[in-house]
Structure 1
Amino acid sequence: MKPHITILPLILATFCILGSEAAEIVSTTEWPAAAVVLSCDFENPTDINRDQWPDRWTRRRGRGYPEYVKVQIVDDPDAPRARRVLEMQLNGGGAAISTPITPISPQYSFVATANLQTRGLARDVAFISLSLLDAEGQLLETHKSPELSGDTTWQRVQIGPIAPATNRAVKAVLTLHLIPSELREDLTGSAWFDDVTLIRLPRMTLHPTTTAGLFTQPRDAEVQCDVSGIDDPRPELVFELMDHEGKVLSTSSQTLNLGAQWPGISATKPLASETSLTTTSGKQLEGLAGSTRFRPMVTDVGFYSVRVQLRSRGVTLLTERTSFVVLRETTFASDGQFGWSLPDADTQLSMNDLATLLSHSGLHWAKFPVWGETAKSERIDRVSWFAERLSIQNIDLIGVLDQPPKELREVFREKGPLPVASVFIEPELWHPVVDPVMTRLSLKVRYWQLGSDSDTSFVGFPEAATKLTEIKEHLQRFGQEVKLGVCWKWMNEVPPAATPPWSFLSYGGEPSLTPAEIEAYLKIPPRTAQEEAQQKFARWVQLRPLPKSDYPMQTRACDLVWRMLATRIGGAEMAFVPEPFDDQCGLLHRDATPTELYLPWRTTSSAISGAEYLGSLTLPGGSENHVFSRDGEAVMMIWNHTPTTELIELGENLRQIDLWGREIKLERQSVDGRDQHQVLVGPVPTFVTGIVDPIARWQIGLSFTSPRVASTFGREQTIEFTVKNPFPRGVGGEVTLIPPASWETDPRAKRFKLASDDQLSEKMTIALKPDASSGDQPLALEFLLTVDKVYKFRVYRSLSLGLADVKLELSTRLRSDGMLVVEQHMTNLSEKSVNFECTLFPPGRRREIRQVIDQAPGRSTLTFLLPDGKDLVGKTLWLRAEEIGGDRILNSTTTAEP
């Protein structure tokens, strides 16, 4: 049964209301001060001539919209009593019908709704759209509702509230659609529409006062709020300032004094030159209008959002939200690996504003579509200027040949986007539309990509290498050498080619690869010499952020920066965000204001772009990290899934920066002459900057010649480490071994001298005490280096004590009968059987002895049962395994658990 779901009580539901002068003011809980602009419920008064067609509505005709698709007013098949609805019944093709053109005023915002039900749809989708037109009937903008498919019950779909993007929008049309969502279409299936409604609301817009909401000083942060179409001369505005986690930082309110003059929407010309707006009938627009600017109390860099409520007579009429960022001052590298793909960015911003945004965003590459509406479009000249502007900012433009000009698209007569491989099949077709672009841009653009980042039509294309060679040879006739590339899927093999014509392949696909998968794919070695020769091309990686609707903000931010990190560690030549302007997966919203991910991108790019990857440090708290070096200074990205404090000895001038550019205060302490910083580490990565580059290289580069120590107790053994001097001059110094408590060693420091770039090899003597446990044993080497100044720090490592071919583990559990169960797990990693006598030493109890006899390769378990186990909980149990007939010993300890 169809529910009567509407967003307002349709007082005029038995006939169709058209025209803004006829709009009736209604008030609802959801939309106070709303007015019906258009309403149609398809009952008898909407079909006066009884032809089963809504009066004055029009139907789209032409390719893909055949007449034989039934569209008519029918009785609702599921209603218990007679109700009329509009039915679309498929027979191949699609259908779209539109309301009469309705006059509107751009001083209002609008909501469009309809009730919709579908049945039997597999590939087709049903939805409504709202088109805004200028006075001549030219389309300005279109907005869509969510799509329905499959079998659904009656649901309300909604568009908006939306505010017209320009004051030229003076007409509106609502259209009902049932069309294929894929290349193939349904032959059967139906959709029903009812209660089609367009209402107007007071209009309120909120936006930052700078391009893309970027501010360089906290004190300059400011947003502007414009209000129109309201009858209250003194409404209240309530502003809330929030951080990237949505935490409210401050709240303030102010009264807005409104006048009769409407401030307008478009800032393309001064407001004083605007003529007064009237409806098509010449009637002066109703409603008051005004604007104000709000300066929130911002004291630090970071991401912020502002939410404003428009309140009139104690009722909240509208709520709007916008965002902005305060940028940390930073110096970007002269070149780097990160970029954005900008398939339609110049529809959000002018090319001048777009260039300004890119210069602040920590990127060095920008993919940009170069084709215009026609082959001789003035867009080519604007792209040429844009490429020059970006070049000054150390950003290279990559020309994208994606959807061709109108004259070529009409030749194909295809619905939807054209696969780029199809566009380039016939040279006589694509030469005339490519040549004007190359003539104008070939000396300014080095890289060219065929197709958008989602177009992988060359994958599986017959003789792809031959076709791309042909295309490249033609493009190179216009100037410098062309670096040509296409998009590829991770899972597909690259076609064989002795000399690949592609200079790069841009890898992507859905779902996106995880950070570990990206790194693994990038590090897959070629299997043959021929394959290695064929892989002499750059690998570009697409980094689409996780969708906002499916993941929390912190997860999305961490995933993005970890994937950026993986591309650098894995050796990808470049990495791109495919659609940075996207409300779900973007770094900026569709209105060009920043999302919560903009600053994590910028912070990470500025830290590691163009930098050399050094490796990871071993830290005493076990935090994961990766270190990069650029221009003589190192930076470390660090995180730990368990919050901890790391004591870091990497220089005197360390600073910790979070993903949103905010500085975290570091506490310093001096321990025995070692300058330590207390770095707070948690699940969200942060950056530690100001690291002394040679100290980081020294700590990362130190290694032991053998990772194992023999389990021989009471006898002297020798361990040896090597390290290369990364300082640009010779160093003198000394080193002291800080062993585990169960090891004995000479406590005296060993002195050394080392020329620049020479390697130090140093041996040290140790002896194991009888209670030395098997497994990884942490130790430290304390260095005192004299170079241009004195550096004192520790390098942390671990050596494995025990046998390479036998692994010993302990676990405990307390049974309900009070017995403590101690399980010894011994794994034989060799190909021969082993024999051990195992002794368990419970504190204050007699020892327990078991034997492992002829254990074959694999894992075995011995069980010890200890009565009154509750008395042992929390105490240390020691197990000693001595090889029968040999001199090898394994020790292991564990704490008894309840």
Structure 2
Amino acid sequence: MINATAWFLLCTALVAPTSEQRHIDAVQIFYCDFSENDVNFDKWPDEWRRTYGPNMPHYVEVEMQDDETAIKGRCLTAKLNGGGALISSPSVAISDNFGYVVEARIRGQGSQHSRAQVRIEFCDENRNVLESTSSDWYQNTDGWQKIHIGPVNVTHPDVRVAIVTMAVEEGGHVDLQGSFSLDDIWLARLPRMYVHTNSPFNVYDDPKNVVVTCELSGIREQDPFIHFELLDASSHKLDGNTIQLAGKLIHEKLSKSSEFIDSSVERPAGYAGATSWQPPIKQYGFYRVKVSMQTARGTLKDHMISIAVVPPMQTASRGEFGWSLAGDDIPLSFEQLNLLLPRTGISWVKLPVWYGESEAERGEQLVLFTEQLAAKDIDVVGVLDHPPEDLDFFGKEIPADASIADLLSNVDSSVWLPSLDGVLTRLSLRVRWWQLGVDSDTSYAHFPNAEKEVRELREKLFRFGQDVSLGLGWPWLEAVPTERRATWDFQQLSASPPLTGDELATYLDLPPRKGVARWTLVEPLPRSDYDLETRTHDLMQQMISAKIHGATTIFAAKPFDDEVGLMSDTGTPSDLLLPWRTAASLLSGTRYIGSLQLPGGSENRLFEDKHGTVLMVVWNRQPRQETLNLGDNIQVVDVWGRSTTPLIKNNRHVLDVTSLPKFVTGMNAAITKMRLGSRFIETNIPSVFEMSHPNSIELYNAFEQGIGGTARIVGPEGWQIVPDRIDFKLAAGEKAKRPFHITLPFDAISGETPLRVDFEVNAEKPYHFSVYRTLNVGDKDIELELTTRLSDDGILVVEQRMLNRDSKPVDFKCFLYAPGSERRRQRMQVFQLTNNWDIKTYNYSHGEDLLGEELLLRVEELGGERRVLNHRAIVEE
């Protein structure tokens, strides 16, 4: 039998807004607009409950009241009177076959300190809350505020009913005036879609092993179509497949504690089924799989999961890169982390290790986990942060934001030391690195006489003579007293907001504190604010800067984070996992040796490992090709870990360089170092034409044996370089200088000018390669700029700016040449040029005809050295 109240509520639900107006595939299971559900006319909704307790007194009035702005003219209102309130709907039977969604309207008026929110609470048979999901908190709203919660999937096996609750909380001060009102509560069930792979964290080393499974329950149609789409990192579709699901009818037994429908009823709950797809992934990389259910009514549900397929890569056993899991929610078990972490290119991991007496099982797991990681060459850093819940701090609750200095140095050690003794005794033989507080906790950096305090703390913690290294958090922006000896071994440096790659380089170049290692954090840009290319480039720059400028250890901050993490909150890969892994694996254990000047001007950094193998990281904001001989076994690895062999043209490798860094492996170490060691002694050529200018080239033999060969210096057309062939013989490790002369032609362009040096070297075999350098033509004391703009009346305005950094004033005559025989050269004269900008302006009619053309400016010195500067510029609007 259905009781009278339940039948009345059911009838009320029938006249409520239909589920199709709310959600295309929802089935309404509860609705209340407070219009008719008051059988006994007591201004309290039938079957609703109110909870009383501390801060929720009886004298806070809660009742239904007439309100013309409510959906049906009535709402439930809590009138603030110095307290809060907790109001709950009737319990509604639910099943784990479905997801659930709640919609409601809330209004806050006249509150200065109090706030309210709506929750959906999932409870057992006795209404004990096992899971809950909440809306935002609201204070004063501009009229009614629509709230949407869900879809929410139930995970606890003992959940039987759902309850919709409005919670009103008082603030730091009580409100005697104001109110919160609730209206239009709608609870519905949705078909539940669960999409997963055959990996606990969706990271694979073989693309053939990937299987995606879609499980559905509570669907209305028996045989819907399930559509799978494979997307790349940029969300471009690569492949897809559609499979018709063979659903089976399912039933649900209603909960005895349901106050809405008689519990004796067993009713059909729709259909359920599962299907799987093996996406045709052909290469390593980051992918997404979109899964959607399609019925006669269209696409009703879709779900997206991320997958990373990682290539095999060797990580140095003592690398610098790690993950910091301190202060971060860890969605994976120790067993799952043991499988994941060795695949991420790390050699370090930070873990919170302070557990209590009631967590003996966690202690056993930590011991086993540290042993498993040690066997895989991953060092564990034990982080002492928030104490366990069973630790009694004089009966007081420990604030969530309490710093480690507050806990360990402002509380008597007899309170917390016994709890830590067991942790340190069990782990200190396996964990050699210990950190006080999470990475952002810099409380000891501001502690009076921190050296003395940490020394005494160290003696208490490790009084049994354990051989450990102790560290603490330190802000980047705080000056480090380098003259004082520290009592800690490392500083975990951090900043808010996080530093960029350039800022990291600047701070790391400051003198370190003696005897203290500097650990730094890599913190990606927020996913919601930047595109993938920008975030990837920034991540690479942070990692490279920290590596080049001497960070001892480099940790990824918050690796499990939807916004800035390498993994998601739920433990699946983000689009930055592979770029991190590629860079960490290839850079670990290497040392920075410099950068090359490439013919196309691309930026690059060179690293050498302990075996003498050289790696180049190369990128360019503007995509271009770099062509040069790099060695015999060259491979190019992109940020996704995919390796290719570059094309060879005229015995030179052709590198396709993009804004995302690429890693060039297998470079010949001797050739690379010979390139680095070759330089012009004089880098500036006076702009005096048809006169011989002496210079020298310094050569360095980086081979492990004596070499002989020739070097030919190739300059721009018209340059005379004598001799045109420079012979040399060098012992292993020897440096030598060889002279040459340059004569500039009359029309040589001023400024940075590229030259190429072609080498033929005879070592254990012949080598042919080129070195690229620049010489500055002109006078380093004279600055010359030329800009163009088109005026509204079509006149091309050319502005010339000159500056003399020498103390001696000088005069120049200037000639500007524009293309076309009908345009005569224009002439200006500069008198007594000093360390102040001199500005001259030239005008050309019909300036639009010159757009995109090249102008030539020739500046000749009057008297003195008779220097000549030739400058070219392209006409722009």
TM-score by length of 1: 0.87
Is 1:708 the counterpart of 2:670? The answer is: no
Q: How does 1:514-529 map to 2 (within 5 A)?
A: 514-523=500-509, 525-526=510-511
**Residues 595-634 of structure 1: CA deviation (Å, up to 9, x unaligned):** 1111111112112222211222211212222222223322
Aligned position for 2:105: 115
Q: Given the alignment, which residue of 395, 399, 405 partners 1:421?
A: 405
Offset at residue 254 of structure 1 (A): 0.9
Q: Which residue of 2 aligns with 1:542?
A: 521
Alpha-carbon distance in 1 for matches of 2:306, 2:480: 43
Please report the RMSD computed on the Cα atoms of aligned residues, expressed in angstroms.
3.5
Question: Structure 1's 153 and 842: CA in aligned 2 closer, same or farther, altered over 3 A?
Answer: same
Determine the structure 1 residue equivalent to 2:144: 154
- Rounded to whole Å, the distance in 2 between the matches of 1:136 and 1:342 is 37
Aligned to 1:856: 834
Q: Deviations over 1:547-605 (max 9, x none)?
A: 22222222222222222222112322222222222222222222212111111111121
The verdict on how the C-alpha distance between 1:376 and 1:632 changes in structure 2, with shifts beyond 3 A counting, is same
- 1:398-437 aligned at under 5 Å gives the runs 398-408=381-391, 411-424=395-408, 425-426=410-411, 427-437=413-423
Within a 5 Å distance, the mapping from 1:436-515 to structure 2 comes to 436-494=422-480, 498-515=484-501
2:630 is equivalent to residue 640 of structure 1: no
Matched with 1:230 is 219
CA contact 2:45–2:64 (8 Å) conserved in 1: no
Per-residue deviation, residues 777-801 of structure 1 (Å, max 9, x unmatched): 1111111223333322211111211
User: Corresponding residue for 2:51?
Assistant: 59
Is the 1:836–1:852 Cα contact (8 Å) retained in structure 2?
Answer: yes
1:249 to 221, 235, 238: 238
Residue-pair matches, total: 857
User: Which one of the candidate residues 295, 299, 304 is aligned to 2:282?
Assistant: 299
Query: Partner residue of 1:740?
Result: 716
Give the whole-Å Cα distance in 2 for the aligned partners of 1:17 and 1:837. 97
State the secondary structure of the residue aligned to 1:546: coil
CA change 1:95–1:332 in 2 (3 A) is: farther
Per-residue CA distance 1:223-254 (angstroms, 9 max, x = gap): 11111123433222111111111111122111
**Worse overlay, 641-650 or 773-782:** 641-650
Tell me which residue corresponds to 2:379: 396
Q: Does 1:653 align with 2:642?
A: no
Q: Report the counterpart of residue 320 of structure 1 in structure 2.
A: 303
Measured after TM superposition, the shift of residue 842 of structure 1 is 4.4
Which segment drifts farther, 75-84 or 794-803? Answer: 75-84
Amino acid of the residue matched to residue 245 of structure 1? Answer: S
Q: Closer, same or farther in 2 for the Cα pair 1:147/1:404, shift >3 Å?
A: same
Once the two structures are TM-superposed, the CA of residue 17 in structure 1 deviates from its matched residue by 7.2
In structure 2, the partner of 1:273 is none
* Secondary structure in 1 matching 2:866: coil
The aligned residue for residue 592 of structure 2 is 613
- Inter-partner Cα distance in structure 2 for 1:96 and 1:789: 85
Secondary structure class of the residue paired with 2:233: coil
Cα pair distance change 1:462/1:25, threshold 3 Å: same
Evaluate the alpha carbon distance shift between residue 177 and residue 654 of structure 1 in structure 2; reply closer, same or farther with a 3 A threshold.
farther
Which amino acid in the other structure matches residue 244 of structure 1? A
2:247 alignment counterpart: 258
Unaligned runs of 5+ in 2: 257-262
Deviation at 1:47, TM superposition (A): 9.0
Q: Deviations over 1:484-541 (max 9, x none)?
A: 2222333233478822123222233432222222222222x24xxxxx6x45422222
Q: Is 1:792 the equivalent of 2:776?
A: no
Q: Structure 1's 786 and 861: CA in aligned 2 closer, same or farther, altered over 3 A?
A: same
Letter in 1 for 2:832: D
- State the alpha-carbon separation in 2 of the partners of residues 611 and 17 from structure 1: 71
Amino acid at match of 1:317: L
Q: Gaps spanning 5+ residues in structure 1: where?
A: 1-11, 263-275, 527-531
Q: Distance in 1 between matches of 2:7 and 2:558?
A: 45
Distance 1:576 1:170, change over 3 A: farther
Q: Which residue of 1 aligns with 2:536?
A: 557
Task: Please report how far the alpha carbon of residue 75 of structure 1 lies from its aligned counterpart in structure 2 after TM superposition.
Answer: 4.2
Kindly indicate whether residue 860 of structure 2 is the aligned counterpart of residue 891 of structure 1.
no
Please tell me the residue identity of whatever aligns with 2:521.
Q
**1:846 Cα deviation (Å)?**
4.8
Matches within 5 A, 1:586-597: 586-597=565-576
Match of 1:428, SS?
A: helix
Q: Secondary structure at the match of 2:360?
A: coil
Shift of 1:100: 5.4
Amino acid paired to 2:336 = D
Aligned mates of 1:588, 1:304 — CA distance in 2: 13
Map 1:195-234 onto structure 2 (within 5 A).
195-234=184-223
Q: Out of 361, 373, 377, which is 2:360 matched to?
A: 377
Matches of 1:616 and 1:123, distance apart in 2: 59
Please list the CA deviations of residues 317-339 of structure 1 after superposition, one character each: whole Å capped at 9, or x if unmatched: 32112121111121112122221
Q: Secondary structure at the match of 2:283?
A: coil
- Structure 1 residue 126: deviation in Å? 4.2
Q: How does 1:95-106 map to 2 (within 5 A)?
A: 97-99=87-89, 102-106=92-96
Paired AA for residue 28 in structure 1: E
Equivalent position to 1:566, from 538, 545, 549: 545
1:580–1:29 Cα change, 3 Å: farther
Q: How far apart in 1 are the matches of 2:786 and 2:84? A: 69
C-alpha distance 196-363 of structure 1, shift in aligned 2 (>3 A): farther
Deviations 1:352-395 (A, max 9, x none): 11111101011111111112354653212211111111111111
1:638–1:685: 8 Å Cα contact kept in structure 2? Answer: yes
Give the alignment of 1:109-188 within 5 angstroms: 109-118=99-108, 126-133=116-123, 140-148=130-138, 151-178=141-168
Deviating more after overlay: 37-46 vs 623-632: 37-46
In the aligned structure 1, how far is the partner of 2:474 from the partner of 2:635?
A: 40
Instruction: Report Cα offsets for 1:864-892 as digits up to 9, x if no partner.
Output: 33456566551442312214333333222
Write the distance in 2 (CA, Å) between the matches of 1:191 and 1:830.
Answer: 76
Letter matched to residue 87 of structure 1: A
Who is 1:780 aligned against? 756
Query: SS at 1:572's partner residue?
Result: coil
Which sits farther off after the overlay, 649-658 or 590-599? 649-658
Structure 2 Cα separation of the partners of residues 121 and 744 of structure 1: 85
Return the alpha-carbon distance in structure 2 between the equivalents of residues 111 and 457 of structure 1. Answer: 43
Deviations for 1:159-178, whole angstroms, at most 9, x for unmatched residues? 32122234443344444345
1:714-770 Cα deviation digits (max 9, x unpaired): 221122233443333333322110112242113632122223332233332111112
Aligned position for 1:34: 26
Provide TM-score, normalisation by structure 2: 0.89
Say if 1:121 and 1:488 are closer, same or farther in 2 by CA, change over 3 A: farther
Distance 2:441 2:113 in 1: 21
Percent identity between the two aligned chains: 34
**Residue deviations 1:445-486 (CA, integer Å, cap 9, x gap):** 111222223433335334433332222222222443332222
Partners of 2:803 and 2:6 lie apart in 1 by 78
Q: Secondary structure at the match of 1:580?
A: coil
* Contact 2:590-2:608 at 8 Å conserved across structures: yes
Listed as ranges, the matches of 1:744-783 within 5 Å are 744-746=720-722, 748-783=724-759
Report the counterpart of residue 259 of structure 2 in structure 1: none
CA contact (8 A) 1:34 1:199 kept: yes
Partners in 2 of 1:249 and 1:237 — Cα distance?
A: 17
Deviation of the 1:69 alpha carbon: 9.3
CA contact (8 A) 1:115 1:195 kept: yes
Q: 1:431 to 1:591 in 2, by over 3 A?
A: same
The DSSP-based 3-state class of the residue aligned with 2:279 is coil
CA contact (8 A) 1:375 1:405 kept: no
Paired amino acid for 1:250: D
What residue in structure 2 maps to residue 668 of structure 1? Answer: 648
Could you say if the C-alpha distance between residues 869 and 376 of structure 1 is closer, same or farther in structure 2, counting changes exceeding 3 Å? Answer: closer
2:320 maps to which of 328, 331, 337: 337
1:72 correspondence with 2:62: yes
Give the structure 2 partner of residue 806 of structure 1.
782
CA contact (8 A) 1:821 1:864 kept: yes
Contact 1:54 1:73 in 2 (8 A): no
TM-superposed deviation, 1:420: 2.2
